[in-house]
Amino acid sequence: MRITEMHITPIALGDPPLLNAAGLHAPYALRTVVELVTDNGLTGLAEVPGSAAVDAVLAEAREVVIGADPLNWNRLKALLSGHFKPETTAARGDTPWDQRKIVQVFSAIDVACLDLAGKAFGVPAATLLGGIVRERVPYSAYLFYKFEGAGGDLAFETDPAATGWAAARQRAALDPEGVVAQAQAMVDEFGFQSIKLKGGVFEPEQEVNALKALREAFGPDVPLRYDPNALWSVDTSIRWGKELEGVLEYFEDPARGQENMAAVRRAVNLPMATNMCTTSFADLPGSARHGSEDIILTDHHYWGGLRASMELAAHCRTFGQGVSMHSNNHAGISMAAMTHLGAAMPNLSYALDTHYPWQWEEIIVGGRLPIVEGCVELPKGPGLGVELDRAALERAHQNYLRCGLKERDDEPEMQKKVPGWKFKATRW
């Protein structure tokens, strides 16, 4: 089997005005869909966060990918490694989301090749990752502070006829009561059994009060996580982390960098997780040396694919660390890929993050993958088990062309609401 075509399609999906440490989500979240077509008529799919810059390196990878055997990932990976200069850890940047590009190429090609291999052999991608250990993969509710509005064509407007989660998705949530109401609507709709609050938006006291209100509303049986995206100093993290002892399941990236995280971890009696201070294989020796975290949140888009994420899981097992999954806004191809990874990862210790409930559009046949009792069932069918809905893909591509966004940048979006607002790597 040989790869004969590689298609790269940037898309934009409506996204509500969600707040985070770097500002405000734009009305559209960008993704890029990659299709690899083979000489025997199969198509392998992948989706990455995307941006015009990522699309350019994907296009550059085409000359390496065309003609390759998708079943021989080790060779193709070596060819890609030879073609691109390695990206440094610093290329990740200070924003909550990872700004590296080349890792996304590895991820896209790894996932699309696994989809092809699954289709060629008639088995799920999770089987090719070593086998299925769970058919239903648990996800966590992912709460955001937000302004009023739904995003997309409904930018900063609300649909008065909406009910249930659709209405809650549009409502503002700016205080503890708003956060609890958002959580209740999300849990009622999807049955999530754990909850994460994205922080780094308001002063620590206000966010800690929201977490205490969540604990009060949901009780100790619903694990809570909290992620201020490294916006706190070590002193702030220790001061407020102590308030959260016994409240949180884990404390995600309160401070910036492995040494700072390790200092917080020594002083606060809470498991610590990261998708910001340990983000690549090159960071793993530092993680062990400093003792910076208890849980590493993989993300196949940034660790170089599903197979690389399985390697990370093996590393975590060896070093006695937990492993779970980070997310950004995404569509159904990524949801399927994340679910295959979650289905195959033997030592998955926590429910996975997903932004999926914040979107309402979909690009796969059959529409949105259901989340039931907080879980996504492993899609049936070979490979990833999902197919592109061509009309929906075209609509999402037209959204991309129309919205004019070329990369994610939350700072200018925030400035439209709060003139002069500036991102700070450490705010409190």
Residues that bind ligand GKR (CB under 6 A): 18, 20, 96-97, 198, 227, 229, 275, 326-328
Of the listed pieces 59-67, 112-120, 151-159, 272-280, which binds Mg ion according to CB under 5 A? 272-280
Computed on alpha carbons and rounded to an integer, the radius of gyration of the chain in Å comes to: 20
Residues 6+ apart with CB under 8 A from 240: 204, 205, 208, 232, 254
* Residue (63 or 407) nearer to ligand GKR, CB: 407
* Residue 25: strand pairing partners: none
CA-closest candidate to residue 194, choices 219, 172, 174: 219
| Terminal alpha carbon distance of the chain | 55
Look at residue 324 and give the partner it binds from Mg ion, ligand GKR, none, a contact being a CB closer than 5 to 8 Å depending on partner kind: none
Residue 95 CB, nearest distance to Mg ion (Å)?
A: 11
Of the listed pieces 62-70, 116-124, 225-233, 256-264, which binds Mg ion according to CB under 5 A? 225-233
| Nearest-angstrom CA–CA distance, 279 and 298 | 8
For residues 209 and 235, is the Cβ–Cβ distance under 8 A?
A: no
Look at residue 140 and give the partner it binds from Mg ion, ligand GKR, none, a contact being a CB closer than 5 to 8 Å depending on partner kind: none
Look at residue 100 and give the partner it binds from Mg ion, ligand GKR, none, a contact being a CB closer than 5 to 8 Å depending on partner kind: none
Question: Binder to Mg ion among 115, 207, 227, 361 (CB under 5 A)?
Answer: 227
Q: According to the binding rule CB under 5 A, does residue 95 interact with Mg ion?
A: no
Query: How many Cβ atoms sit within 10 Å of the Cβ of residue 194?
Result: 21
* Residue (176 or 199) nearer to ligand GKR, CB: 199
* Residue (95 or 107) nearer to Mg ion, CB: 95
For residues 417 and 147, is the Cβ–Cβ distance under 8 A?
A: yes
For residues 193 and 200, is the Cβ–Cβ distance under 8 A?
A: no
* Residue (55 or 98) nearer to ligand GKR, CB: 98
Look at residue 330 and give the partner it binds from Mg ion, ligand GKR, none, a contact being a CB closer than 5 to 8 Å depending on partner kind: none
* Residue (38 or 298) nearer to ligand GKR, CB: 298
Residue 326 CB, nearest distance to ligand GKR (Å)?
A: 5
Q: Of these residues, 101, 146, 196, 326, which one is catalytic? A: 326
Look at residue 15 and give the partner it binds from Mg ion, ligand GKR, none, a contact being a CB closer than 5 to 8 Å depending on partner kind: none
CA-closest candidate to residue 340, choices 74, 123, 171: 123
| Nearest-angstrom CA–CA distance, 273 and 250 | 6
Residue 98 CB, nearest distance to ligand GKR (Å)?
A: 7
Q: According to the binding rule CB under 5 A, does residue 278 interact with Mg ion?
A: no
Q: According to the binding rule CB under 5 A, does residue 275 interact with Mg ion?
A: yes
Catalytic residue flag (residue 422): no
| Nearest-angstrom CA–CA distance, 79 and 68 | 10
**Pairing state between β 3-14 and 28-38:** antiparallel
* Residue (182 or 275) nearer to ligand GKR, CB: 275
- The helix/strand/coil state of 258 is helix
Of the listed pieces 97-105, 166-174, 223-231, 416-424, which binds Mg ion according to CB under 5 A? 223-231
Query: How many Cβ atoms sit within 10 Å of the Cβ of residue 52?
Result: 12
| Nearest-angstrom CA–CA distance, 362 and 23 | 25
CA-closest candidate to residue 349, choices 324, 327, 382, 370: 324
Q: According to the binding rule CB under 5 A, does residue 293 interact with Mg ion?
A: no
Q: Of these residues, 198, 300, 340, 355, which one is catalytic? A: 198
Query: How many Cβ atoms sit within 10 Å of the Cβ of residue 348?
Result: 22
| Nearest-angstrom CA–CA distance, 397 and 361 | 12
Residues 124-163 that bind Mg ion (CB under 5 A): none
Q: According to the binding rule CB under 5 A, does residue 51 interact with Mg ion?
A: no
* Residue (182 or 279) nearer to Mg ion, CB: 279
Catalytic residue flag (residue 83): no
Side chain identity at residue 262, one-letter code: A
For residues 274 and 302, is the Cβ–Cβ distance under 8 A?
A: no
Residue 20 CB, nearest distance to ligand GKR (Å)?
A: 4
Look at residue 328 and give the partner it binds from ligand GKR, Mg ion, none, a contact being a CB closer than 5 to 8 Å depending on partner kind: ligand GKR
Look at residue 354 and give the partner it binds from ligand GKR, Mg ion, none, a contact being a CB closer than 5 to 8 Å depending on partner kind: none
Interface contacts to Mg ion, rule CB under 5 A: 227, 252, 275
Active site (catalytic) residues:
198, 326
